[in-house]
Amino acid sequence: MNGDTLHVNGNALHVNGNALRVNGDALHVNGDALHVNGDAEHVNGDAEHVNGDAEHVNDDAEHVNGDAEHVNGDVDHVNGDALHVCRC
């Protein structure tokens, strides 16, 4: 599921490509990697980001938040009730 992929599951909005993620109190904008969240531990470089129940590793972007496991690249997305809108 590539192209511009929109994932909505729970409080998590995932827009791939430039990867905008809104989940809980966490806003992740990949590329230059802007992370806004509550209690956040952020290590730049390879960008390992832990905030609440969201573990975010930027490079290939493995993102775990609640019941959503999101791996960018080819976009493997597993979640509870998910709305997937994509150009496949």
Q: Does residue 44 fall inside a structural domain? A: yes
Given this model, what pLDDT does residue 33 score?
A: 43
0.85 exceeded by pTM: no
Q: Does residue 87 fall inside a structural domain? A: no
How many domains are contained in the chain?
Answer: 1
Rounded to an integer, what distance in angstroms lies between the CA atom of residue 1 and that of residue 47?
Answer: 24
pLDDT, mean over the chain: 44
Q: Does residue 83 fall inside a structural domain? A: no
Q: Does residue 36 fall inside a structural domain? A: yes
Q: Does residue 85 fall inside a structural domain? A: no
Q: Does residue 88 fall inside a structural domain? A: no
3-state helix, strand, coil in the chain (%, to 5): 0, 50, 50
Domain that holds residue 49: 6-78
Short-list 51, 45, 50, CA closest to 33? 45
Rounded to an integer, what distance in angstroms lies between the CA atom of residue 5 and that of residue 55?
Answer: 20
Q: Does residue 42 fall inside a structural domain? A: yes
Given this model, what pLDDT does residue 21 score?
A: 52
**31: three-class secondary structure by DSSP:** coil
